[in-house]
Amino acid sequence: MTRFAAPIAEQIWDMKYRFKAADDTPHDLTVEDSWRRIARALAAPEAEPEAWEGRFYTALEDFKYLPAGRIVAGAGTARSVTLFNCFVMGTIPDSMAGIFDMLKEAALTMQQGGGIGYDFSTIRPRGSAVHGVAADASGPLSFMDVWDAMCRTIMSAGSRRGAMMATMRCDHPDIEDFIAAKSDSARLRMFNLSVLVSDAFMEAVKADGSWDLVFEGKIYHTVQARDLWNRIMQATYDYAEPGVIFIDRINEQNNLNYVETIAATNPCGEQPLPPYGACLLGSINLARLVSDPFSDAARIDDADLDGLVATAVRMMDNVVDVSRFPLPAQAEEAQNKRRIGLGVTGLADALLMKGLRYGTPEAAEQTEAWLHRIARASYLASVELAKEKGAFPLFDAEKYLASGNMMRMDDDVREAVRAHGIRNALVTSIAPTGTISLYAGNVSSGIEPVFAYAYTRKVLQKDGTRTEEEVVDYAVQMWRDRMGDAALPDYFVNAQTLAPEEHVRMQAAAQKWIDSSISKTINVPEDISFEAFKDVYMQAYETGCKGCTTYRPNEVTGSVLSVAEEKKEAPEVIATPAVEPEQPHGDVIYMSDPLDRPQALEGQTYKLKWPDSEHAIYLTINDIVVGGKRRPFEVFINSKNMEHYAWTVALTRMISAVFRRGGDVSFVVEELKAVFDPRGGAWVQGKYIPSILAAIGGVIERHMIAIGFLAGEGQGLKADPTAQVVGLDAPRGKACPSCGQYEMRMIEGCMTCGSCGYSKCQ
């Protein structure tokens, strides 16, 4: 009997979380081994580790408590990785030396696998004087480009890219450039962007007042607040960025506002953090806790929930002590405040099991009740830890109880904190759980609605063939198991059928009892009017949300994945004949299945001479013209050095297979260029190349630039890869850069693949 509720769950475990040796030999033979590994590692700080290991294992068993992916993948492996998901880095000094010191810290943090957030408001605006030199400042966006290029070259632990968040205050003189940055599809691809919106600005917007753009007390420009707000809204309407963070509300409701000021968040926005703050995340899987689902008796037992929360809080507190940190300042910050972020996943599925329609006042009321219960249990568990192990070092009872969410907490909880202190300064947060929710059996993600009740996923088999596999939402599968072929009730709704105000209602209900923030995407229809779109953000502000992220499908952001309950045969994909040579370049064309190779292809052969190697490597890259657009189709790598034979053949086959899938295949270049040889790289034509594989990546990049596929070195596609599929009438969304499937959807502020779990932010 397998513990996995769906085949995709086991595949995600094997691919993302299973502990394996360098040669891919598994140490974790079963998922039970993974749970045991995690439980043992997190019990190590305890006085009686064996006793707590058993309790921790029980919490992990059957996916009831889901630590964040970095903990699942890294705990107990002895690898030099951080178990913290994301960091907000130090305040950027307004000096060249200070800026590049911060860049170095960012690189070290991402090298260990942490996503980062930065406030770029501290850098002087473009065109302002630079004292001591006869020059004008280049402005914060120029340095964001440097960060973006750095992120492209750093391979995060666990074979995933580091995600980044950039924030800027709404009164910074360069805010208009910041707002418009993502209008260039090739720029700042590694960043999520959010504007720090103050209460004063929102009041000026409502009053149609003027707004000063200021740096260090000097007014650079004065604009109309409503005009600036409309520019933010228009960019978000068109490009899905920037997001909006209500920064005054975040600081006002912060339990630690007496010792810190927040100006940035982690990449998905659920953790507003001070300089060098880190987010430690985990989720209670509500979908696994509902008894008697789809009946009048359906419920989550309060005692069971309280006990699971208490165990989860203890496990997360121990992570602070067992994790590595990229920088000493991050370790000190974590130890001084011991903030954790316990949240939920599977909320929408749990509501369905209770017969509640997501987005209704009744569903919002139940959501608030569950999260209130979790908040109470979390704080009380942390008080118990304080009795045993001591309060967090910066705890001050009177100041703490007069700050943030503690002012609205229940009286008995407040009195317990006053009497005994509290171990963790902040305890609740709702994080993105895209991959971890697939691992748990495809439960609904975080507090998001169900995205799709079922879809078909193509799975590559060992013999090279592909089979189709139905991926079913957890609650839907439970309904089928109990009700057979009975039609789904009317209260089964999904992200595409909900009104925007229903999304906002659920986010606001959850926020009341979350002391950090929430990662949530509000899906809006493509044809929503601009005025109605702006109303979504105003509703989020007026109902107490700490931020707002929307996704409107369009030609730039990509079409929303269309999902049908019944399987439909895909139409045949037919290659378009080649066009005249004078039109070889253009947009990316997505192919729904690999194309057959034509008899003849145009290409180029490159000679790569690696220092200290007797024989050169020759790379032949052939291109195909599809729909009038030229793109790489296959690669051949050859060398007389027989030591290179196996890996050059493997690389030839793998890269060619990826190229033939279509889509944005620029990630192949990024992955190869990020490979570091522990024996050292080499200087080639005045440039340091970290490995021979990185050199191959550089050759492929130059070829892609030459044919017009890439905009330039270290840059993205020459044109945005809008969802055009050759031979298909219906529009489709963007292909996943990891598995090539058309299952990308905006979830919790990040484009996430429902097929393989890939996410830029996880």
CB 244 within 8 A of CB 58: no
- Using DSSP's 3-state secondary structure scheme, residue 514 falls into coil
* Tokens describing residue 266: 């982690």
Q: Identify which of 728, 358, 739 has the alpha carbon closest to the alpha carbon of residue 559.
A: 728
Going 210 to 216 to 217 to 219, the CA torsion angle's sign is: negative
Q: What 3 state SS string does 328-354 have?
A: HHHHHHHHHHCCCEEEEECHHHHHHHC
Kindly report the CA angle at 204 between 406 and 237, in degrees rounded to 5?
90
Torsions phi, psi for 544 (to 5 deg): 95, 10
Q: How far apart are CA 311 and CA 317, in angstroms?
A: 10
CA 69 – CA 460 distance, rounded (Å): 24
Give how far Cα 362 sits from Cα of 420, 488, 504, 541, 575, Å: 36, 19, 14, 22, 52
DSSP for 234-262? HHHHHHS--EEEEHHHHHHT-TTTTT---
Q: State how far the Cα of 262 lies from the Cα of 516, in Å rounded to an integer.
A: 11
Q: Give residues with Cβ within 8 angstroms of 420, minimum separation 6.
A: 383, 386, 387, 391
Nearest to 547 by CA among 111, 198, 276: 198
Residue 332 annotated in active site? no
Please report which helix (H) or strand (E) contains residue 52, including its range: helix 49-60
**E strand or H helix at 475, and its extent?**
helix 474-483
3-state secondary structure 87-101: EECCCCCCCHHHHHH
The rounded distance, in Å, linking the Cα atoms of 228 and 205 is 9
Answer whether 760's CB lies under 8 Å from 435's CB: no
Q: How many CB atoms lie within 10 A of CB 602?
A: 14
Q: What is the dihedral of CA 474, 479, 480, 482, to 10 degrees?
A: 130
Q: Which of 192, 254, 255, 266 is catalytic?
A: 266
Query: What span, in angstroms and rounded, lies between the C-alpha atoms of 34 and 72?
Result: 8
Catalytic residue among 268, 545, 753, 756: 268
Is 266 one of the catalytic residues? Answer: yes
Dist. CA 481–CA 485, nearest whole Å:
9
d(CA 200, CA 592): 49
What is the spatial distance between Cα 390 and Cα 424, in angstroms, rounded to a whole number? 10
| Residue reference for tokens 């907000």 | 88
CA-to-CA distance for 515 and 530, rounded, in angstroms? 32
- 545 given a catalytic annotation: no
Among 120, 50, 71, CA closest to 435 = 71
How far is residue 711's CA from residue 724's CA, in Å, rounded to a whole number? 19
3-state class of 755 per DSSP?
coil
| 3-state SS assignment for residue 745 | strand
Closest CA to 723 of 714, 713, 733: 733
Separation between Cα atoms, residue 383 and residue 391, nearest integer Å: 8
Residue with tokens 């599925």: 349
Element (H, E) at 291: strand 290-291
Give 393-427 as a DSSP string. Answer: TT--HHHHHTSGGGGTS-HHHHHHHHHH--S-S--
Residue showing tokens 């839907």: 476
> By three-state DSSP, how is residue 392 classified?
coil
For residue 646, give every residue at least 6 positions away whose Cβ sits within 8 Å of its Cβ, in sequence order, or none.
none
Active-site residue identified among 46, 53, 270, 701 = 270
Catalytic residue numbers, as ranges: 266, 268, 270
